[in-house]
Amino acid sequence: HAGVSSADVESFAEYLKGCRRILALLGAGLSASSGLPTFRGAGGLWRTHDATELATPEAFQADPALVWQFYSFRRHMALKAAPNKAHYALAELSRRNKDFITISQNVDGLSQRALHPSEQLHLLHGSLFNVKCTSFFCRYTRKDDFTDPIAPSLAIPKKSSLVKTDEDQGETGTKQIEESDEEIDISDIGHHLPDIPVKDLPQCPECNGLLRPGVVWFGEPLPSKTLKTVDEWIESDPVDLMLVIGTSSSVYPAAGYTDIARAHGARIAVINMEQSVKTLGENDWFFQGDASVVVPEILK
């Protein structure tokens, strides 16, 4: 991992020892080495769609089936993925230090599965495993629903092959479709997506309305209680250190926390494959590389 100089690692380790109040901001790059694609750059396309264009209320309104297929696929991928060494290192630091809070933009559930203490983990953009009702009169929500698929119509099809049935078993000459265990990669545009009627999409158990993923789309407010808790934590005392891990720092209000923490005294350590935070002070650190390698190394 080019870019991580041992002098920097040493000065960081020295500073970390004396740190009490630490804030971490997490982004999709943290889960990249667990095999989950990021939003921007390579991997940010799903079929022919820009991932950030599917993450909008307008996209859901225009084509709820397409957006549900996108989220159902991502739920499935996230459930198949495993937390990496960075998720575990952050969870460990969190358990050791009650003055450490993490604000995560990630919706994949990997920090939780690495046993990151939940009271120290604040989700800014919701979760792939939450749903909420879209009916304007209904307030139904459901958390931590790991059912996969979330509705039968959203099951990922298996590869099938045409096989000849054994002639001795009757049905001479007929052919049968046999299902294999191999899933079709529905993110590949070579595979045609079925048209799913809205009535077969996830349905509200209380009003039969259409459910939607419990994530925060562009133009929507972030959970106000979470923002309040985080703001109060930051404002209650100076912040010693902020870790900015695997995020392009391009989405607000999340990206704004770096300046806020700095204004409360924090030195910033950026861990990213590329320079993502535009302005770094001379007291800050930039550790370039894969978060799953760099984070455990600098936190050990």
Binding residues: 27-46, 71, 74, 105-108, 133, 138, 204, 207, 246-248, 272-274, 291
Please report whether residue 134 would count as binding ligand BJW according to CB under 6 A: no
**Which pairs from 202-209 meet CB under 8 Å and 24+ separation?**
202/68, 202/131, 202/150, 202/151, 202/154, 203/151, 204/133, 204/135, 204/138, 204/140, 205/140, 206/133, 206/138, 206/140, 207/133, 207/135, 207/137, 207/138, 207/140, 209/133, 209/134, 209/135, 209/138
9 part of the interface to Zn ion, by CB under 5 A: no
Rounded Cα distance between 200 and 212, Å, is 13
Smallest separation, CB 203 to Zn ion (Å) = 8
x-or-dash string of contact with Zn ion, 110-139, rule CB under 5 A: -----------------------x-x--x-
Quick one: which of 264, 261, 275, 222 has its CA closest to 24? 261
Residues 234-273 touching ligand BJW, rule: CB under 6 A, are 246-248, 250-253, 272-273
Q: Which is nearer to ligand BJW, 41 or 205 (CB)?
A: 41
Nearer to ligand BJW, 50 or 182 (CB): 50
Q: Is 28 in the site for ligand BJW (CB under 6 A)?
A: yes
Interface with ligand BJW, residue 89, by CB under 6 A: no
Q: Nearest 5°: phi and psi at 26?
A: -110, 145
Q: Is 192 designated active site? A: no
Size of residue set near Zn ion by CB under 5 A: 8
- Does 38 participate in binding ligand BJW (rule CB under 6 A)? yes
Site for ligand BJW contains 231 (CB under 6 A): no
- Which one from 76, 116, 122, 125 is the annotated catalytic residue? 125
Site mask, ligand BJW, residues 101-120, x = CB under 6 A? ----x-x-------------
Q: Is 209 in the site for Zn ion (CB under 5 A)?
A: yes
The span of 149-157, 158-166, 181-189, 212-220 binding ligand BJW (CB under 6 A) equals: 212-220
Give the residues lining the site for ligand BJW (CB under 6 A).
27-29, 32-33, 38-40, 52, 55, 105, 107, 125, 215-222, 246-248, 250-253, 272-274, 276, 290-291
By the criterion CB under 5 A, which residues form the site for Zn ion? 133, 135, 138, 140, 204, 206-207, 209
What residues are labeled active site?
A: 125
